[in-house]
Amino acid sequence: MTITVLKAAPGEPPRTAAEIGDTVSIMLARLRTGGAQVALEYARSLDGWQGEIMVTRAEIAAATARVPQALKDDIAWAHDNISRFAAAQRATAQDMEIELRPGLIAGQKQIPLQAAGCYVPGGRYTHIASALMSIATAREAGVPDITACSPPNGAEGIPDAMLYAMDLAGATRILTIGGVQGVAAMAFGLFGAPAADILVGPGNAYVAEAKRQLFGPIGIDMFAGPTDSLILADETADADLVAMDLVGQAEHGGNSPVWLATTHRPLAEAVLERIPGVIADLPEPNRSAARQAWADLGEVVLCSDREEMARHADSRAPEHLHVQAADPDWWRARLLAYGSLFLGAGTTVAFGDKAAGPNHVLPTSGAARYTGGLSVHKFLKTVTWQRVTGPVLDDLARVTASISRAERMEGHARSADLRRGAGVEVPRTMTLKG
């Protein structure tokens, strides 16, 4: 049986327009040469921010005092989960060494990056959880200097709860600046920050394009597009939960695809019937965002069995993959391509977005075929080392020279020959000192 499409997605997620790329290129060129002064001009004209860029300790303390204690407790609870999960990840990244042959010792070492730039998006929503996800993960990886930036919310600047979260997570400094100019401030080391070794965190199309153009000399977490989610459901799933979970993810924005694959036609039909009402019950602007995402990018397909659902999921490689079906252990073992996996009806993607612990900065647009999401490993360099002494030296030099000459790399071969024992013939053109 082939997959039956019950609701097609008539639109496609918009690609980064050439105009965005050109605009970002021009801005980065100006920011690279003009530095903090140009960044400040953009902050004034684009962010509408008239205050200082660097947030002071006094301002952070005042903002913290204004956050209700119950909300601070909840943010701290989520921060504890995120930090503990990141710390457990860090424990899996180990230094090691091995003696491959007598006298040939090789190893690896984990070195934290020295400076990270964490972009925390603003705009329609106050992304408290994003601050925790990027900053706390960098801190647990051992990065000693972390710059965080976020656009101002009007004249008030960065929202109080966001400032509290950024400070709690361990930001070394916080900058009130967004967009391309915020990314550039961290990349180029403006406003007292060191130049970042890596830029992480989600943002709009301009932020994503700035990170893409800067990638190379500077690391980035990933090339991110609009968020996407796929639910796999069988006859055991609840239509109300599935409909709410799809709409909950659709409220990210009108360009955020949400998909359902199921083996149970009655469930699919019930979900299709419920979704318009679930969307209508949302407040604005969430309602408009979810309605557009569902109309343009929502998809419902009917599969013959769970294996066909799994193949469909692997081909989609979604950012979020939520299984609301029997036998979760089978799904965890079988599924191959996703940013993060949510097993069981009780494990909504919203938990992962906000407070569960695993990072919510994840690969989008099918990138889960080849990469995972943000983790402590993004902030670590796994480097290798080697040392050669003793009886292995002659054999290693002989093999190296043999392979080098087969590759027509005579300089490599001679470097190896010089390290062999007595009796090695040195070319007459070479002069040895000492």
Contact 294, 11 (CB under 8 A): no
Query: Are β-strands 320-324 and 219-220 bridged in parallel, bridged antiparallel, or unpaired?
Result: unpaired
- Whether the CB-CB separation of 259 and 298 falls below 8 Å is answered with yes
Question: What separation in angstroms does the CA of 224 have from each of 83, 374, 433?
Answer: 23, 11, 55
Which of 79, 127, 320, 322 is labelled catalytic? 320
Report which of 67, 123, 125, 71 is spatially closest to residue 283, judged by C-alpha positions.
Answer: 125
Instruction: For residues 119 and 199, give the distance between their C-alpha atoms in angstroms, rounded to a whole number.
Output: 7
Q: Is 377 a catalytic residue?
A: no
- Per residue, the 3-state secondary structure of 315-344, as one string, reads HHCCCEEEEECCCHHHHHHHCCCCCEEEEC
Query: Catalytic one among 319, 322, 360, 412?
Result: 319
Using alpha carbons, select from 36, 19, 132 the residue that is nearest to residue 86: 132
Give the residue from 261, 237, 357, 366 showing the smallest Cα distance to 6.
Answer: 261
127 classed as catalytic = no
Active site residues: 319-320
